[in-house]
Amino acid sequence: MPEQRTAIYPGSFDPLTLGHEDIARRSLKFVDRLMVAVAHYPTQEKARLFSVQERLEMLQECFADEPRIEVTDFSGLLVKFCDRVDVHLVVRGLRAVSDFEYEFQMALMNRELDPELEMVFMTPGVEYTFLSASLVREIASLGGDVSQFVSKPVLDRLQAKLAG
Ligand code: PNS
């Protein structure tokens, strides 16, 4: 059996948006398997809307239809996680020029830390270029309708979280 091409799609996913989902599903055009990896930031956990466990559950629900997507989490450096799981290809979404500087800096730094690592940048569908998890959080917390920006499992959890 030929070797499977695997990539990691890391992020905070607080919460997962349709833009993230679009990037993950598009990347399956060039990889056989994708690990969507929620990054732990113990020092920032209190600032998050959803716990890592809740984000993992949301991701699992949203990608339940796609056996080629595996949901996982990691703490510490991305390059160390990549090394541990022996995957050296990382996918990131690039929405607009404003994302570029941060992503470029992170890509070059990651390559400095691990010369074996390659990063691939994908643009989401144009309907998602203005979308961000932080805007979804803000709109939802102010009572706005985010149903066109997130999947049903995320919407349900947002409503439950913000009602409680
Ligand atoms: O969705 P985000 O918050 O933009 O994702 C950022 C993420 C998680 C990909 C990035 O912060 C990361 O890789 N964090 C792990 C810690 C690390 O490796 N930091 C050095 C980056 S050069």
The answer, as to whether pTM is greater than 0.85, is: yes
**For ligand 1, atom 7, which residue shows the shortest CA distance?**
11
Pocket test for ligand 1, best of 12, 59, 73, 119 (most atoms within 8 A of CB): 12
State yes or no: pLDDT of 135 exceeds 80: yes
State yes or no: pLDDT of 162 exceeds 70: yes
State yes or no: pLDDT of 70 exceeds 70: yes
Query: Do residues 125 and 146 lie in contact, with contact meaning Cβ atoms separated by under 8 Å?
Result: no
Q: What would the 3-class secondary structure string for 20-62 be?
A: HHHHHHHHCCCCCEEEEEEEECHHHHHHCCCCHHHHHHHHHHH
State yes or no: pLDDT of 47 exceeds 70: yes
Confidence grade of residue 1 (pLDDT, cut at 50, 70, 90)? low
Q: Does the C-beta of 10 come closer than 6 Å to ligand 1?
A: yes
Q: What is the mean pLDDT of residues 13-39?
A: 98
Determine the pLDDT at residue 96.
Answer: 86
Q: Which two tokens stand for residue 7?
A: 């990539």
Confidence grade of residue 46 (pLDDT, cut at 50, 70, 90)? confident
DSSP classification of residue 67: T
Closest of 131, 156, 96, 95 to residue 17, by C-alpha: 131
Task: Provide the annotated binding site for substrate.
Answer: 12, 78, 92
Domain boundaries, the chain: 6-163
Determine the pLDDT at residue 49.
Answer: 94
Q: Does the C-beta of 108 come closer than 6 Å to ligand 1?
A: no
Q: Which two tokens stand for residue 35?
A: 């690990």
Q: What is the mean pLDDT of residues 124-132?
A: 95
Q: What is the mean pLDDT of residues 151-161?
A: 96
User: Closest ligand 1 atom, CA of 13?
Assistant: 1
Tell me phi and psi for residue 90, to 5 degrees.
-120, 135
Q: Which CATH superfamily is domain 6-163 in?
A: HUPs (3.40.50.620)
